[in-house]
């Protein structure tokens, strides 16, 4: 495991950069535990102060220190993405495995349902859900709903990998040498599938964070829980652009963009790791 | 021909399934509501001083049927479908008493136009550059373009649109910041009006394209770099097929096919992006209508847009699916 990590870091530029970006992001998010202010308290510091030595990222029109606000926002946003990705990974892994192994009618039915979920546009549905639930639409409810709707694309991917693994020579060999099917799945096949699950994990986090930011910017989430989208929402509410408080937009946008790029780089480096040909190509070049 | 009919039949079934599941989810969500939308909306209309009793009764009637305040859930479900089949969502609350279907009908062409143009453009740009980058994998310029495209791809639509808005209307005011056309022009097929529409669509479509090209680029590059090592390509190269023809007719043509399937699968996500982009640029399409409807607490309009969006997106996917075999000759050969 450590050797894999070291090789990735040494030979894969994307991984190294992505990893460092994510370390910075996680570091900033972790400092929220040392924040001198409670996340939703307002009018604590001078309003609309530009970035300075005292307030690194400045303060906003609600009298909050943007740096500390950002640490909470990053923590919540990352946790949100993590929960959605975790639950939807479990769903897509289960459905992909069942569909890939069972084949036949089970596979056809599951994949029809799967394709249905790929096609349905989620955004109007999520807006409708917020519209109906209003204040009951908490951060956690949204995460559960998005996990329940966001598994389909990756389930198809995992299914196709499972089908190709099932027909490989070594699977037949294991079957003939008397290995039980659950053991083949966990010991022989899972090592192939796990890197894909990790890679889709990052992609799914990006997807869910992107949707959450969008919903929050429009004010369609629980705006009292500080998230990146929520910060931009409040900046819009106070017309920060008109009054020239650019730092209120700039820092949340910068950090969320960094998060996206970091997660994305990790996911594509994982993809290259899965494909041994490109891995060798890289090692040969450097 | 017969195999094509069977193929289309299967796609029709899948289309029906998507609409069925999507609309059923919509129905379930609306029935989770803890408050009674009917009386809430009627009360809101009455307080604004709309006093025509017929219109209010019409609103009450349609809301009751759409939200089903009866006691049998199954019956409500059937009535909901009947309403939908007639595309009758009753009068809108925020633009009372204009029917919801009329508001949607007015906004839909804008969204369809914006989406079609930007989807087709980003598909072609991403695939062509991606194909070239896969073929000439050591080319420095293509690598840099690729890195920019891939870097933009994970950034959410909102952020890209917002940054473009700031740069091109605030810091460097050369493009209009909002709307679908200049306010002082009357809609019509005049060159001035069309020019204005085009000018106003630049920023929204560019932001959709910037986010969209990355995934086509990556997919195409991966496909092409696999095909390049295939035997038939090596053979053709040795046989002296000119490089230009090799790239276009031998390599790229084959790689385009799976990308068409990819297009069908990503329509839903692209639609999500368009909704947001419209909101940022105040574009008069479905997306802005939806956001405004939520802010105005217009139940019938929100429900109508959600249902229409599901049907429209699945119809788009259906169209791509049935065109696909006409482009891919292999589907006709197999049974």
Q: What is the pLDDT of residue B128?
A: 92
Q: List pLDDT tens digits, range B50-91.
A: 556 777 777 777 766 666 555 567 777 888 888 888 887 777
A258 belongs to a structural domain? yes
Distance between B186 CA and the closest CA of chain A, angstroms: 30
Range of the domain at A27: 2-41+57-283
**pLDDT value at A88 more than 90:** yes
CATH number of the domain that A160 lies in?
1.10.3720.10
- Are B156 and A127 a contacting pair at CB < 8 A? no
Query: A31 vs B189, which has greater pLDDT?
Result: A31
Which residues of A are less than 8 Å from B275 in CB distance? 123-124
Residue whose pair of structure tokens reads 């400092």 in the numeric block: A31
Task: Indicate the Cα dihedral angle B236, B240, B241, B246, nearest 10°.
Answer: 60
Residue A124 and residue A131: Cα distance in Å, rounded? 10
Q: Could you give the angle at the alpha carbon of B307 between the alpha carbons of B301 and B312, nearest 5°? A: 120
**pLDDT value at A27 more than 80:** yes
| A266 touches B at CB < 8 Å | no
A127, A256, A264 ranked by CB distance to B294: nearest: A127
B32, B218, B305 ranked by CB distance to A133: nearest: B32
**Number of C-beta neighbours around residue A195 at 10 A:** 15
Q: What is the pLDDT of residue A116?
A: 86
Distance between A119 CA and the closest CA of chain B, angstroms: 5
Residues 6+ apart with CB under 8 A from B254: B227
Q: Give me B306's structure tokens.
A: 């959600």
Q: List pLDDT tens digits, range A200-231.
A: 898 899 888 988 888 888 888 887 788 888 88
Asked if B221 contacts B234 with a C-beta cutoff of 8 angstroms, the reply is no
What residues does B104 pair with on adjacent strands?
Answer: none
Q: What is the pLDDT of residue B251?
A: 85
Q: What is the pLDDT of residue B335?
A: 41
Hey, CA dihedral for A142, A143, A144, A149, is it positive or negative?
Answer: positive
Percent of chain A with pLDDT strictly greater than 90: 11
| B320 touches A at CB < 8 Å | no
A167 belongs to a structural domain? yes
Cα A248 to Cα A66, A78, B17, B79, B163, distances in angstroms: 7, 20, 45, 48, 14
pLDDT below 50 — which residues of chain B? 333-335
A17 belongs to a structural domain? yes
**Which residue of A lies nearest to B280 if distances are taken between CA atoms?**
A218
**pLDDT value at A234 more than 80:** yes
Which residues of B are less than 8 Å from A249 in CB distance? 162
Q: What is the pLDDT of residue B32?
A: 65
Q: Give me A56's structure tokens.
A: 């690194």
Residue B22 and residue A116: Cα distance in Å, rounded? 8
A28 belongs to a structural domain? yes
Reduced to 3 states (helix: H, G, I; strand: E, B; else coil), residue B100 is helix
Picking from B121, B95, B89, B139, the residue whose alpha carbon sits closest to that of residue B304 is B89
Q: How many domains does the structure of chain A reveal?
A: 1
- Are B29 and A132 a contacting pair at CB < 8 A? yes
Q: List pLDDT tens digits, range B42-61.
A: 666 665 555 567 777 777 77
| pLDDT averaged over every residue in chain A | 83
Residue whose pair of structure tokens reads 């959410």 in the numeric block: B156
Q: What is the pLDDT of residue A84?
A: 94
pTM of the model: 0.82
A52 belongs to a structural domain? no
Residue B185 and residue A202: Cα distance in Å, rounded? 47
Q: What is the pLDDT of residue B309?
A: 87
Which residues of A are less than 8 Å from B155 in CB distance? 257, 260-261
Cα B83 to Cα B77, B300, B307, distances in angstroms: 10, 12, 11
Q: What is the pLDDT of residue B209?
A: 92
A66-102 and A190-217 helices, crossing angle to 10°:
140
A47 belongs to a structural domain? no
| CA end-to-end span of chain A | 22
- Are A120 and B153 a contacting pair at CB < 8 A? no
A26, with CB counted inside 10 A (0-12, 13-18, 19+), is middle
**pLDDT value at A284 more than 70:** no
Reported as type and span, the H/E element at residue B15 is helix B2-30
- Are B29 and A263 a contacting pair at CB < 8 A? no
Q: How many CB pairs under 8 A join A and B?
A: 121
**Which residue of A lies nearest to B296 if distances are taken between CA atoms?**
A131
A178: left (phi over 0), alpha (psi -120 to 50) or beta: left
Residue A18 and residue A237: Cα distance in Å, rounded? 33
| B104 touches A at CB < 8 Å | no
Distance between B191 CA and the closest CA of chain A, angstroms: 34
Q: What is the pLDDT of residue A276?
A: 60
Q: List pLDDT tens digits, range A99-151.
A: 888 878 888 888 888 888 888 888 888 888 888 877 777 888 889 988 988 88
**Which residue of A lies nearest to B219 if distances are taken between CA atoms?**
A268
- Are A118 and B265 a contacting pair at CB < 8 A? yes
What's the pLDDT band for A269 if we cut at 50, 70, 90? confident
- Are A112 and B305 a contacting pair at CB < 8 A? no
A49 belongs to a structural domain? no
A98, with CB counted inside 10 A (0-12, 13-18, 19+), is middle
Interface of B with A in 232-291 (CB under 8 A): 265, 267-268, 271-272, 275-276, 279, 290-291
| A211 touches B at CB < 8 Å | yes
What residues does B99 pair with on adjacent strands?
Answer: B91
Residue A43 and residue A111: Cα distance in Å, rounded? 53
- Are B291 and A115 a contacting pair at CB < 8 A? no
A101 belongs to a structural domain? yes
Scored b (16 or more CB within 10 A) or e, B257-272 reads bebbebbbbbbbbbbb
Distance between B311 CA and the closest CA of chain A, angstroms: 9
Of the residues B158, B298, B311, the best mutation for testing chain A's interface (the one with the most A CB atoms within 10 Å of its CB) is: B158
Query: B104 vs A49, which has greater pLDDT?
Result: B104
**What is the SS3 string spanning A166-182?**
HCCHHHHHHHHCCCCHH
């Amino acid at each position: 495991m450590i050797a894999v990590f070291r090789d990735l870091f040494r030979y894969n530029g994307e991984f190294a950069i992505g990893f460092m970006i994510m370390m910075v992001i996680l570091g900033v998010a972790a400092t929220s535990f040392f924040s001198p202010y409670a996340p939703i308290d307002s009018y604590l510091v001078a309003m609309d102060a530009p970035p300075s030595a005292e307030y690194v990222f400045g303060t906003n029109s609600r009298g909050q220190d943007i740096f500390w606000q950002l640490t909470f926002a990053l923590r919540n946003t990352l946790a949100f993405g993590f929960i959605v990705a975790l639950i939807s990974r479990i769903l897509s892994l289960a459905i992909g495995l069942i569909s890939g192994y069972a084949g036949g009618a089970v596979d056809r039915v599951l994949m029809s349902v799967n394709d249905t979920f790929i096609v349905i546009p989620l955004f109007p549905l999520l807006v409708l859900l917020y519209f109906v639930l209003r204040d009951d639409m908490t951060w956690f409810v949204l995460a559960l709903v998005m996990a329940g709707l966001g598994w389909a694309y990756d389930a198809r991917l995992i299914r196709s990998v499972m089908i190709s693994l099932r027909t490989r020579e070594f699977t037949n060999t294991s079957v003939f040498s008397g290995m039980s099917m659950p053991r083949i799945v966990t010991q022989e096949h899972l090592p192939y599938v796990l890197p894909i699950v990790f890679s889709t994990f990052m992609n799914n986090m990006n997807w869910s964070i992107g949707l959450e930011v969008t919903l929050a910017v429009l004010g369609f989430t629980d705006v009292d829980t500080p998230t990146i989208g929520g910060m931009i929402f409040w900046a819009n509410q106070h017309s920060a652009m008109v009054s020239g408080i650019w730092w209120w937009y700039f820092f949340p946008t910068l950090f969320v963009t960094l998060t996206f790029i970091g997660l994305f780089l990790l996911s594509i480096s994982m993809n290259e790791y899965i494909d041994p040909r490109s891995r060798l190509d890289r090692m040969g070049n450097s | 021909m017969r195999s094509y009919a069977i193929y289309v039949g299967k796609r029709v079934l899948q289309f029906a399934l998507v609409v069925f599941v999507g609309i059923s989810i919509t129905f379930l969500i609306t029935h989770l509501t803890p408050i009674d939308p009917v009386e809430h909306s009627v009360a809101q209309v009455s307080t604004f001083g709309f006093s025509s009793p017929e219109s209010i009764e019409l609103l009450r009637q349609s809301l009751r049927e759409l939200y089903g305040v009866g006691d049998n859930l199954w019956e409500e479900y059937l009535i909901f479908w009947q309403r939908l089949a007639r595309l009758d969502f009753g009068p809108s609350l925020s633009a009372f008493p204009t029917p919801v279907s009329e508001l949607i009908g007015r906004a839909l062409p804008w969204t369809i136009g914006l989406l079609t143009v930007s989807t087709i453009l980003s598909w072609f740009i991403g695939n062509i550059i991606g194909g070239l980058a896969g073929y000439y994998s050591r080319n420095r310029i293509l690598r840099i373009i690729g890195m920019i495209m891939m870097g933009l791809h994970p950034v959410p639509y909102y952020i890209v649109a917002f940054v473009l808005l700031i740069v091109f209307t605030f810091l460097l005011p050369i493009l209009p910041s909002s709307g679908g056309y200049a306010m002082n022009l009357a809609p019509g097929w005049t060159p001035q009006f069309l020019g204005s529409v085009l000018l106003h669509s630049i920023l929204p479509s560019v932001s959709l394209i910037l986010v969209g090209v990355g995934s086509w680029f990556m997919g195409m590059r991966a496909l092409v770099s696999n095909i390049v090592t295939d035997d038939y390509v090596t053979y053709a190269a040795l046989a002296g097929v000119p490089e230009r023809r090799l790239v276009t007719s031998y390599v790229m043509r084959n790689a385009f096919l799976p990308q068409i399937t990819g297009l069908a699968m990503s329509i839903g996500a692209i639609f999500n992006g368009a909704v947001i982009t419209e909101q940022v640029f105040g574009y008069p399409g479905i997306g802005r209508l939806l956001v405004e409807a939520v802010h105005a607490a217009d139940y019938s309009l929100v429900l109508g847009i959600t249902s229409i969006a599901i049907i429209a997106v699945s119809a788009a996917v259906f169209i791509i699916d049935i065109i696909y075999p006409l482009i891919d000759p292999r589907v006709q050969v197999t049974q």
